[in-house]
Amino acid sequence: MKFCSLCATPVVQKIPEGDSRLRYVCPGCGEIHYQNPNIVAGTIPVYENKILLCKRAIEPRKGFWTLPAGFMENQETTTEAAVRETWEEALARVKLGTLYTLFNIPQIDQVHLFFLATIKDGQYGVGEESLETRLFSESEIPWDEISFPTVKKTLQYFIEDRSNQEFPLRVEDIVRDRKT
């Protein structure tokens, strides 16, 4: 961040009183611009034992397959975000189940959440951020062309758990080189 989003004064980095971390602070209006992790919410949309995946039309990982997911908007709940993203990317209306995976990814300041979901009427299409969408049976999943590690792990857990029909919440930290 270079300029204050409220008054356009160049910001400075400093530790505000009572705080312990460097923040962008505006010397003009005094605003402290906190930067916090972003939440990505998505679903595992299932219809007749097959899983709906979307081929990404946008970077990053354009051309790779993903579960529908995206950044939460302000004023939105996590479930609303997951349902909205599934509609936007795959034109599928889903009935949400429980929260299934939660990944902390501190090195990129993100938290990824995936909810179990069933496609209401079996209908889906190709949303603006997708090149193609398709229902995959377990043996058809393109493991080498999956977009992100959290998507791959969610699919792996889901297939593993589906054999027992029990889907416990899985919370996992994906830690690589953390920024200092």
Query: What CA–CA distance (Å, rounded) separates 86 from 41?
Result: 10
| CA distances from residue 97 to 19, 116, 117 in whole angstroms, order as listed | 39, 5, 5
Stretch that binds Zn ion, among 23-31, 113-121, 140-148, 160-168 (CB under 5 A): 23-31
Of 124, 67, 133, 58, nearest to 91 by C-alpha is 124
Shortest Å distance, C-beta 76 to Zn ion? 27
Q: Assess contact for 43 and 69: CB atoms under 8 A.
A: yes
Under rule CB under 5 A, residue 6 binds Zn ion = yes
Shortest Å distance, C-beta 5 to Zn ion? 8
Of 107, 104, 111, 103, nearest to 178 by C-alpha is 107
Nearest 5°: the CA angle 83, 97, 169 is 110
Shortest Å distance, C-beta 9 to Zn ion? 5
Shortest Å distance, C-beta 19 to Zn ion? 17
Q: Which amino acid is at 22?
A: L
Shortest Å distance, C-beta 30 to Zn ion? 7
Query: What CA–CA distance (Å, rounded) separates 70 from 42?
Result: 6
Shortest Å distance, C-beta 23 to Zn ion? 13
**DSSP-H helix ranges across the chain:** 78-90, 149-162
How many binding residues for Zn ion (CB under 5 A)?
A: 8
* Shorter beta-carbon distance to Zn ion: residue 8 or 175: 8
* Shorter beta-carbon distance to Zn ion: residue 17 or 177: 17
Query: What CA–CA distance (Å, rounded) separates 88 from 5?
Result: 29
Under rule CB under 5 A, residue 12 binds Zn ion = no
Please select the residue that binds Zn ion; options are 24, 25, 26, 129, rule is CB under 5 A: 26
Under rule CB under 5 A, residue 4 binds Zn ion = yes
Contact string (CB under 5 A) for Zn ion, positions 27-66, x = contact: -xx-x-----------------------------------
- Give the residues lining the site for Zn ion (CB under 5 A): 4, 6-7, 9, 26, 28-29, 31
